[in-house]
Amino acid sequence: METFTETTHRLSRRELQTLFYVGRKLRLIDCLVGRCDSLRTVKAHKSFGYEMLTEGGKVSRLDFNKGDYIVAESFSCGYSKVMIYNADGQLCAKYEVL
């Protein structure tokens, strides 16, 4: 039986780009407007961040601003959740990696 230990890592935008590859399925579980449960598929990497498709096929954007930073929770089997924080430390988005 494998034991999972949780750790937190700060990621660069380049590391996030590797994790959020085009076609990757994610679940948006928290954002600025509150808790949510919405599936997303990474559509494209852009200079501002990412374009994602919602379950209904609409385009959703994940924009990065100056001072934003990325934190990933990981277990021994890989990254499980990714959080985006603004410069003030407020949670902007939290994704579960599927």
Number of independent structural domains in the chain: 1
| Dist. CA 21–CA 67, nearest whole Å | 23
| Distance in Å from the first CA to the final CA of the chain | 22
Nearest C-alpha neighbor of 11 from the set 90, 81, 91, 88 = 81
The pLDDT tens digits along the chain (98 residues) read 444 456 888 889 889 999 999 999 999 999 988 899 999 999 999 999 999 999 999 999 999 999 999 999 886 667 789 999 999 999 999 999 99
- The answer to whether 36 and 28 are in contact (CB under 8 A) is yes
Residue 85, domain extent: 7-97
Q: Pick from 90, 86, 84: which is nearest to 28 by CA?
A: 84
Note whether residue 1 is domain-resident: no
Residue 74 in domain: yes
